[in-house]
Structure formats: structure tokens, C-alpha cells
């Protein structure tokens, strides 16, 4: 039996940082599987890693590629010690200004693919296995100007918290990670139809800090982690204040 860790979105940003931190911090892992579309970027990440890696260049929204991955898991006789779903993207802008196909692609990537990957890897998990799902602080509240993205992340947070409870009897722990802005290539994609409000940019953290908090939370079996003091404060505000009031305040940022 081969002990493996699977990381999606490993070609960039937070997923790449997960690969690098896990590579130095984890032992007793035979292979780290790195998933994203850009193979050359995955190869660059793998080149600086000590662990054996398997590069799986695939579009997570491609159902045939997902079927192939499911077969590979079966063939390789693996134990999945950890699954990290970091593949995802967001598009800022008004709902009716963004082409429908790109909006629905956000649903497929952030929600459907994450759900399928979680489902196909679960049979290969054992007591002590971990799942880390990249949600976002955008999950806490509807976000005009980032509407579909925020809704996808609410899905990820809700699904992950429920799954964590369902899997507790098997000793498998799910952690939803909810950072605010993280300094990655995310914004190159996100700002095609809209701009990030300046106030949000002021709260930006590094991917190193985000991933460190995520791995620590997963180690301690936390169902959710909010890296950074600004987003912890935001979460508190959404718990204490009426949501319509918070929405009126955040609408002033545009």
C-alpha cells in the first residue's frame, strides 16, 4: 500500500505552497500527487520537492479525466493520507456583465469538481486521513460584485462542515480554510471584469501564512480555520451584526 497526498491547484499560489510546506513537514508519505492543467508549472514545483511526486495534468471539470483519476486510484492501491482541494477561481464583476459560461465554470470547478474528488478519494482514506477544502472568507456573506464566487465558497464551507461530522466515526477530519485576500495569481484571473476594492487589498496575507494556518488547523482536527486577524474580525461582524447592515457597509467599498 502506497501512502499518498493529493493536492489540486498545485501549479500556483496556495496549492503550490501546500506542496512545498508538506514536502518539508511530512514523513511516511510515499508520493505526493500534484494536479492542475499546466503540466510545466507542476514540473517546476516537483523539481524543488524532496518527496516522490506524480504529476497529473488535468482539468478538474473534465469528467473523463476524473474517471481516469478514479481508475488510477484503484490501480495504484493507495491510502490517501490527505486530500487538498485548492483548484479554484473567482471572477469579480456584476453578474450580468460576466458571460454565463464563465460563471457556470466557477460552479463546476469550485463546487462540482471538489465534490467529485472528495467522493472518489474517500474509499481510499483510513483513520487519521485528512481533507482540506479551500473555501474563503467570501463564504460568510453574500458578496455583490463577487456573487457567484461567494456562493460557491458558501457551498464549500457548508459541505465541508457537514462532511466533517459525517466522517468523525471513521476518524477522518475535514477542514475548511477561509482566508480573505491571499497574494497569489488568483487576482490576475479574478479582475478580468472587475477590480478588487482597495480596502480588501489592505488585508492581504501571504500564501505561506494561509497554508501554515491550514495545516495546523488540520493537524488539530479543526473543522474550519480563518487565517489572519482581519478576516477573524469579519467573521465576528457577520455573527453579531444584521447581514443587511454589513452588506450596506461593504457596498460602500466599491
Ligand X SMILES: NC(=O)c1ccc[n+]([C@@H]2O[C@H](COP(=O)([O-])OP(=O)(O)OC[C@H]3O[C@@H](n4cnc5c(N)ncnc54)[C@H](OP(=O)(O)O)[C@@H]3O)[C@@H](O)[C@H]2O)c1
- Catalytic residue annotation: 149
H or E element in which residue 101 lies: helix 100-107
Query: 182 in helix, strand or coil?
Result: strand
Asked if 37 contacts 62 with a C-beta cutoff of 8 angstroms, the reply is no
Q: Which residues contact 102 (CB under 8 A, 6 or more apart)?
A: 91
Q: Which is nearer to ligand X, 85 or 129 (CB)?
A: 85
What is the C-alpha separation between 105 and 90, in angstroms, rounded? Answer: 10
Asked if 92 contacts 145 with a C-beta cutoff of 8 angstroms, the reply is yes
Of the candidate residues 3, 20, 26, 41, the single one contacting ligand X (CB under 6 A): 41
Q: Which is nearer to ligand X, 49 or 79 (CB)?
A: 49
What is the C-alpha separation between 83 and 4, in angstroms, rounded? Answer: 9
Closest approach of ligand X to the CB of residue 25, in Å: 19
Q: 69 - beta bridge partners? A: none
Angle separating helix axes 13-25 and 39-47, nearest 10 degrees: 30
Q: Check residue 109 for interaction with ligand X (CB under 6 A).
A: yes
Q: Which stretch binds ligand X (CB under 6 A): 55-63, 73-81, 160-168, 217-225?
A: 55-63
Q: Which stretch binds ligand X (CB under 6 A): 8-16, 76-84, 162-170, 227-235?
A: 8-16
Q: Which stretch binds ligand X (CB under 6 A): 96-104, 166-174, 183-191, 233-241?
A: 183-191
Closest approach of ligand X to the CB of residue 179, in Å: 5
Q: How many residues does the chain have?
A: 254
Q: Which stretch binds ligand X (CB under 6 A): 26-34, 124-132, 185-193, 222-230?
A: 185-193
Q: Which is nearer to ligand X, 149 or 173 (CB)?
A: 149
Closest approach of ligand X to the CB of residue 199, in Å: 14
**Footprint (CB under 6 A) of ligand X, residues 192-251:** none
Asked if 18 contacts 44 with a C-beta cutoff of 8 angstroms, the reply is no
Give residue for cell 481516469. 68
x/- site string to ligand X, residues 139 to 178, per CB under 6 A? ----------------------------------------
Amino acid at each position: 500500500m502506497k501512502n499518498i497526498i493529493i493536492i489540486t491547484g498545485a501549479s500556483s499560489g496556495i496549492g503550490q505552497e501546500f506542496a512545498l510546506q508538506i514536502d518539508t513537514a511530512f514523513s511516511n508519505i510515499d508520493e505526493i500527487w500534484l494536479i492542475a492543467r499546466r503540466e510545466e508549472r507542476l514540473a517546476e514545483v516537483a523539481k524543488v520537492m524532496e518527496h516522490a511526486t506524480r504529476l497529473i495534468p488535468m482539468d478538474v471539470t473534465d469528467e473523463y479525466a476524473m474517471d481516469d483519476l478514479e481508475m488510477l486510484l484503484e490501480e495504484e492501491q493507495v491510502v490517501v493520507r490527505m486530500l487538498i482541494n485548492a483548484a479554484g477561481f473567482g471572477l469579480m464583476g456584476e453578474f450580468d456583465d460576466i458571460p454565463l459560461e464563465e460563471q457556470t465554470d466557477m460552479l463546476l470547478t469550485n463546487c462540482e469538481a471538489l465534490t467529485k474528488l472528495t467522493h472518489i478519494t474517500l474509499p481510499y482514506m483510513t483513520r487519521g486521513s485528512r481533507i482540506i477544502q479551500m473555501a474563503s472568507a467570501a463564504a460568510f456573506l453574500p458578496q455583490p460584485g463577487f456573487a457567484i464566487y461567494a456562493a460557491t465558497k458558501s457551498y464549500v464551507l457548508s459541505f465541508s462542515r457537514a462532511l466533517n461530522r459525517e466522517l468523525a466515526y471513521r476518524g477522518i477530519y475535514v477542514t475548511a480554510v477561509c482566508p480573505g485576500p491571499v497574494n497569489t495569481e488568483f487576482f490576475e484571473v479574478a479582475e478580468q471584469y472587475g477590480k478588487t476594492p482597495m480596502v480588501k487589498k489592505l488585508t492581504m496575507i501571504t500564501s505561506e501564512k494561509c497554508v501554515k494556518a491550514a495545516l495546523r488547523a488540520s493537524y488539530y482536527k479543526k473543522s474550519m480555520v480563518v487565517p489572519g486577524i482581519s478576516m477573524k474580525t469579519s467573521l465576528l461582524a457577520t455573527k453579531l451584526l444584521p447581514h443587511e447592515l454589513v452588506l450596506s457597509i461593504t457596498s460602500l467599498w466599491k
